[in-house]
Structure 1
């Protein structure tokens, strides 16, 4: 029997069967890696084993738990400038109350692991759908442990699980995507960028209605829901950011600024910091302008374009930010994983650069963070490599997105003269 022609119903069914078989065949291997690596992360945050560097769990046992005690009284931390999160972040901070039989920190770590599991399950399920591949699930399984125990000691993995769910729902369920995106944005702002390539009104309307409803509920129920908006104005330049490299080098030439814990992160404060911070904001503005130009000129939208554009947008805003905290990398790992779920996505090189940056990130924090704070040669080298990888990933991903959606596809190559003459019709005799 001759093989089915491409595009026939039989061909599509065979392709679907291949996708499902590939997804099922990879699942045991994915689980074999996910289980031990996540157990190791839990052993680190539960302090059965001690991870090198400063204790990354203190944010949970001290800062988060302090917020928890305030939030449970029905108000936001109005006098704490380190509270810089949208109102729905209160749900993440309060969530350990669900596991009342554990102490606060241990309950939080278990819930962070559960969010990791949910993202993994969504990516694994998506691997068996038509046009999908297990590559995305592998990016998540490998990428998360590369960041070390910090992943389970911040609530960013919970936000990323919501973002993964939103993007995977996007093509078939735009209203669900809009609602999840709005909820994610009210957890930590950045998921609003998932809508950059959303077409039609359904996702946008759903996001607007959800955001308005949830925000109004918090505003009415808890005082200070939007106080976080005023807690960002006096921030310096965080020591791990791209702009911070200026001051790391300048310290070797007599710059007399300081490195201090400020607004919840270790920052540079002193002469010219405001100039560098303003330059970072200008770069972020330029990134927004590029995204707007791309959106106006994009003409080709494939099922994977939604995820690819979100990945590029978050890369742009992360790389140009005046703060690049280690947990930000989990956002990029999650979005890269969704991109690579799609067989047609060409984001694999950028995803590889993000994975490499994740590994360097765990070296600069927490393993050798003292060298970063000291601005010694090792600390500067780590930041140059990590931030260089992020810049490279941003440029590569943006170029792929532009070429796939804006640039005109190349037409067929012109035939050589001999072939052109051969194709000319001959006069009938």
Structure 2
């Protein structure tokens, strides 16, 4: 049994002529396992942004390395708060502790040390009163005792990370926060997996490349540039194979070249049943393929499969055949291809999950019948004291990119969901950091 047939057989209710979004996602999650990328590179910290960690990062030090103050103020022994009760506590200031220079003096009952944020807590002192709570007269500081509890405003050694603990896990993406975390450990180099290589091309005799003169019935190729942007944002190594005409020999050559060079292949157009759509027939001849009609809008026709790459140790390339309409390309990429590529590049399940959905109040009425998942372009705005609001953004035709540019998210109307009335709550997939 082929790999595609094996996965299909394991899915309950699998019907390639009417496949639900959840079933497609479940299918691709299995197809993308195990991760294709295994080769490790060691990069300078700044060069690792956006890459996938190849190993756990284990902390060689505790962070912070010592108890320290979380505030500018005065450090003292918090046991004195209970004795003070509801009265003001007055203490004698016997020194100053600066960040980066531990104060080595001795303190006794009734003493305090002026302290800066990040400075090492002096021995025997466990509480810091913020300077804005204090009144200072000469060498004495006083403040209301009831404003504090013992241990307030003290950071403990290892509060962020203890020495020997994993700071970051294999399969995580190196984010800006992760860069800072690794830097706090004093580590200049990071082990990451190589980039996933993805080849892509557009198909169709009606498509013009940039620089060609307009002609009747033809349109310029927007899909290659959209896919380039989506893959680049994802951190892939992109291989642009250009525009391929509706010619079986040209399509076969393009797919063979793509499989030889890349881990994954993305095509746009040619996966429906039109007379000139040769892509489908060529894919079937070359590889282990499945062709679907997905119960969604936009983006009904889709293909997925494996194209052999003779001599490649990684095995066959995974192929995603997307629809030709520009918005359908983006929606199917976000809903299906992006999570699969993240798994293939070695991300752990949490990092490879689809973006979380935001709950928002719909300003508009949206017509929909149960039985398919719909993705409407929307514009989300914050509302003081309430859920965010979302408005439908322009013309929702699957070829209308202007409304995709206007939108900052997709209103996700689920398979069994009916129409939406103004004021109803809906799910929104936010674009920020994704597209």
Q: TM-score range by the shorter chain?
A: under 0.3
Normalization by structure 1: what TM-score? 0.23
Hey, which of these two has a bigger chunk of strand by percent?
2
Hey, which of these two has a bigger chunk of helix by percent?
1
Normalization by structure 2: what TM-score? 0.23
Higher Rg: 2
